[in-house]
Amino acid sequence: MTGSCVVTGGGRGIGRAIVQRLLDDGHAVVTVEFDPETVTWLAGRPNAAAVVGDATDESVAERAADLAAGMAPLSGWVNNAAVFRDAALHTDGPATVIDLVTANLAPAVVGSAVAVRRFLAAGTGGAVVNVSSHQAGRPVRGALPYAVAKAAVEGLTRATAVEYGPHGVRANTVALGSIATDRYADLLDRLGPDAAAEVREQMRLLHPLGRLGRPEEVAA
């Protein structure tokens, strides 16, 4: 076993693909997931565990770190958990926008803090990976709080790398384009056949590969 990692939001979609890839590569993995129904697939796997709770709760993150370190030395932390909900400045107001920005930024801050503390205490260094989005640099309509939060996540990544790089802590961001997840499939279902076909064609034209990315490609 090469070490242990914590992945937030590892119950479905991209997070689940990341957990699976880490397990396949020989890591022990603990995921932090709010919805207990999404982590039943980990049952019976000797090198995997789940902590059900809020990734913004430091005590939840500490519990995940303890579980991971109990299986193998903690070597990595992936901040993947996110909230997808829009709010408009002119109607919802700044307080709502700030709350939603915090909902997406706080898991990365909490996870990074717990991971860095553990790496420094062990004297081994380690890796923090923050999952961001193309919207950090190129927002689209209908996702203002999310775009703001992801820009802050990328700033957090750079600052963490500068601050703790001399101690052997690496910090990186994976900034995703559009990924074919269950959430995307649900959206197409809600749109109906004609509108879904139009969205698929727009996505084909927008992406250099002519298609959306896949969760397993993100994990790789």
By annotation, the residues acting in catalysis are 146
List the beta bridge partners of residue 6: 30, 77
Own/partner long-range contacts of 22-29 (Cβ < 8 Å, ≥24 apart): 22/76, 22/219, 23/47, 23/48, 26/1, 26/2, 27/1, 27/2, 27/3, 27/72, 27/75, 27/76, 28/1, 28/3, 28/4, 28/68, 28/71, 28/72, 29/4, 29/5, 29/68
Neighbours of 118 (CB within 10 A): 22
